[in-house]
Amino acid sequence: MKSRRKQPVSPMSQKSSDRLFVAEPLAAGAELRLDEERSRYVGRVLRLRVGDEVILFNGLGGEHIAAITEVARRSIALCIGAHRDRDVESPLEVNLVQGISRGERMDFVVQKATELGAHRITPIMTSHSVVRLPDDKSEKRAAHWTKIVQSACEQCGRNAVPLVDPPQSFERWLQNLTMAGNGRVVLHPGAANTFTSLAPVRERCDLLVGPEGGLSDAELRQATAAGFVPCSIGPRVLRTETAAIAALAILQSRYGDLG
């Protein structure tokens, strides 16, 4: 891509639909120069040019319309417009505690959980987990999932970026569990409770989902002792990624902002 000089841009029309997460402070009237990775995405994937607009957000609330003022080979400059206090967050804060699954299944869960309004995602390794992440790989995996969350926010319109915790063992997660919140649910096929029979959930819910092999009997007992209510989605046994997405959709429909 050939370098281009800065050009004047017209007043911002606020009609842009392309969204971009940037981990930097945003201030109206300031110039922002994107790094090489973000510039490549804007220039080669979105194919935006001087004068085009993009919505910027940094996860701290709200968004800014920004106009591209310069396109160079390895960088793009933007003029940041006024802050817009737009909030599409669900009134129900769901922390998805997800047993890590293999391959792209976990990536899929992280992406769809973000789209469905999850407030936080906590990946855990359980007795039946096939995936085992040593400490030196946990940070890289968490960074990978964080990028998926940021990209999902760009797509679905969220300006608040869900927190992704570092992968941890079931035991460690349980030890660090805070006092009981408003709602705690653990998915378990064949459980007597269903979402329709649960006590109403308000404001916050911890949703625990096992990996491919489910939780062990001991882990289920420990979770129940910590206040988690075993709950079944229906008569069919769902894959872990399907179960997490279905449960999130049900919770958001009953107590959040879906439907």
Distance CA(35)–CA(53), nearest Å, equals 17
- Rounded Cα gap, residues 97 and 94, in angstroms: 9
Distance CA 28, CA 44 (A): 26
d(CA 201, CA 203): 7
Structural domains in the chain, CATH included, are 19-84 (2.40.240.20), 93-255 (3.40.1280.10)
- What is the pLDDT at residue 73? 82
Under a CB-based contact definition with an 8 Å cutoff, are residues 107 and 244 in contact? no
pLDDT of residue 130: 73
The CA-CA-CA angle for residues 56, 248, 20, to 5°, reads 10
One-character DSSP codes across the chain: ---------PPP-S----EEE-SS---TT-EEE--HHHHHIIIIIS---TT-EEEEE-SSSSEEEEEEEEE-SS-EEEEEEEEE------SSEEEEEEE--STHHHHHHHHHHHHTT-SEEEEEE-TT-S----HHHHHHHHHHHHHHHHHHHHHHT-SSPPEEPPPEEHHHHHHT--S--S-EEEE-TT-S-BTTTSPPP-SEEEEEE--TT---HHHHHHHHHTTPEEEB--SSPPPHHHHHHHHHHHHHHHHSS--
List, in sequence order, every residue forming a beta bridge with 99; answer none if it has no partner: 124
pLDDT for 16 equals: 58
Residue 245's nearest CA partner among 157, 115, 92, 103 is 115
pLDDT of residue 199: 86
Q: What is the pTM of this model?
A: 0.89
Other C-beta atoms closer than 10 Å to the C-beta of 222 total 15
Q: Is the CB of residue 94 less than 8 Å from the CB of residue 207?
A: yes
Going residue by residue through the chain, which has 259 residues, state the pLDDT in tens, using 9 for 90 and above. Answer: 444 444 444 444 445 589 999 999 999 999 999 999 999 999 999 999 999 999 999 999 999 999 999 998 889 999 999 999 999 999 999 999 999 988 799 999 999 999 999 999 999 999 988 777 767 678 889 999 999 999 999 999 999 999 999 999 999 999 998 766 679 999 999 899 999 988 888 899 999 999 998 999 999 999 999 999 999 999 999 999 999 999 999 999 999 999 8
